[in-house]
């Protein structure tokens, strides 16, 4: 297995190679979310205005709840699609398939349901184990960390994705946890350093105080966190490919 330093260097190269396309994809998904939110709010406000003319108070309350559910659903759907699109773009660039942003968007929509189903299965199993004992819940959360990668990269569906993820992670548990923990700590350190440098360079306050410079500082902070997330996705993809190897078959009952 490659060393941590090798993975960090290769992740840096993959990050630079995919940066512009990932940035374009991020802006595209964010634009879709904004448009969806505007459409939901416009229809909702107009509907509530029309209902206010009838005096149906309870109907307005129900409509408000429906609008809230739609907003939450839009956030969940586009969050899943964003994650799928980012992973597929990183995979395509690493394998020289040159997937376009539009193609990634379409593919993320097609893969949405099975991806959400795997996430639901993993989440339910982790919660159930956590209700019994906290420690097993933590371990199963770690074991299933690559269940979505198992589907998006290797086409494993449902329980099979959980089994595949558990098999590879369990066989490399020390290096897996150590590598991911290290890259997340490095991400946090770089975020704090870059934010401090920008704050000192442009005189932007670290804390929000309601002024224009503070707002700029907040936007820059979000941008930095997104860029770091790009790198972490690239690292996770390469780590997945590195620890993926033939493993002893595990019964679906042990997933």
Q: Read off the pTM.
A: 0.82
State mean pLDDT over 205-231. 73
What are the tokens at 68? 């809230």
What are 87-106's pLDDT values in tens digits? 999 999 998 888 899 999 89
Burial class of residue 189 in the structure, from the number of CB atoms within 10 Å of its CB (0-12 exposed, 13-18 middle, 19+ buried): exposed
φ, ψ of residue 101 to 5 degrees: the values are -65, -40
Dihedral, 103, 105, 106, 112 alpha carbons, nearest 10: 140
Question: Comparing C-alpha atoms, which of 141, 165, 172, 139 is closest to residue 151?
Answer: 165
What are the tokens at 1? 């297995």
The rounded distance, in Å, linking the Cα atoms of 75 and 36 is: 9
Domain locations in the chain as residue ranges:
4-254
What are 171-217's pLDDT values in tens digits? 888 888 899 899 999 988 988 888 777 777 666 555 555 566 666 76
CB of 147 within 8 A of CB of 162?
yes
């Amino acid at each position: 297995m490659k060393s941590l330093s090798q993975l960090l260097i290769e992740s840096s190269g993959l990050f630079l190679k995919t940066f512009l396309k990932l940035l374009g994809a991020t802006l595209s998904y964010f634009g879709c979310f904004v448009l969806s939110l505007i459409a939901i709010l416009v229809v909702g406000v107009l509907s509530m205005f029309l209902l206010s003319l009838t005096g149906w108070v309870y109907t307005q309350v129900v409509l408000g709840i429906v609008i809230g559910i739609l907003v939450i659903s839009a956030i969940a759907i586009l969050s899943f699609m964003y994650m799928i699109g980012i992973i597929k773009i990183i995979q395509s660039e690493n394998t020289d398939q040159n997937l376009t942003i539009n193609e990634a968007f379409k593919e993320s929509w097609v893969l949405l349901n099975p991806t959400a189903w795997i996430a639901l299965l993993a989440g339910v199993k982790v919660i159930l184990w956590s209700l019994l004992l906290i420690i097993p819940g933590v371990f199963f959360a770690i074991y299933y960390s690559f269940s979505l990668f198992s589907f998006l990269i290797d086409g494993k569906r449902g329980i099979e994705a959980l089994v595949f993820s558990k098999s590879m992670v369990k066989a490399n548990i020390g290096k897996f946890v150590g590598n991911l923990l290290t890259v997340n700590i490095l991400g946090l350190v770089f975020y704090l350093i870059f934010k401090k440098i920008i704050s000192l360079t442009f005189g932007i306050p670290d804390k929000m105080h309601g002024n224009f410079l503070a707002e700029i500082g907040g936007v820059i902070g979000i941008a930095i966190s997104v860029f770091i997330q790009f790198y972490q996705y690239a690292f996770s993809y390469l780590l997945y490919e590195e620890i993926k190897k033939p493993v002893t078959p595990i019964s679906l009952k042990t997933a």
